[in-house]
Amino acid sequence: MAIRFEDLPPQVQNQLRQLQQLQQQLELTIQQRMQIDIKLKETENALEELSKLKENAPIYKNIGNLIIKADREKLIKELQEDKETLEIRKKSLEGQESKLKEKIEELQSKLQEALKK
């Protein structure tokens, strides 16, 4: 026997809408974190490759549709700063993800209790 959404009390309907919104926010947060993970890995790989090169090896970097010669030390510093920024962003997203999961679990519990009545 299925329960129709319209037959539920207004409070339960509201909680279900909130749950749906929280789940959507969680999905977006997870997607953002995954994108940050990819960028972080790319940055770490670039730093690793730079460390393998000889000191006087020419280095080039992409800027839009251009590839230009880059200063090794400036590029390393730029990549390290990017890495730090990405790590901070990742931690922030992980915190948001954790809080959203807690809220979802809490709301699911409330809904289960309300539907038992």
Distance of CA 72 to the CA centre of its chain: 30
pLDDT category, 1, cuts 50, 70, 90?
low
Mean pLDDT of 23-27: 98
What radius of gyration, in Å, describes the C-alpha atoms of the chain?
A: 24
What's the token pair of residue 78?
């730029």
pLDDT in tens, 37-58: 999 999 999 999 999 999 889 9
What's the token pair of residue 68?
């230009």
Q: Are 114 and 11 in contact (CB under 8 A)?
A: yes
Say what the pTM is: 0.83
pLDDT category, 18, cuts 50, 70, 90?
very high
Residue 17 has pLDDT above 60, yes or no: yes
pLDDT of residue 60: 93
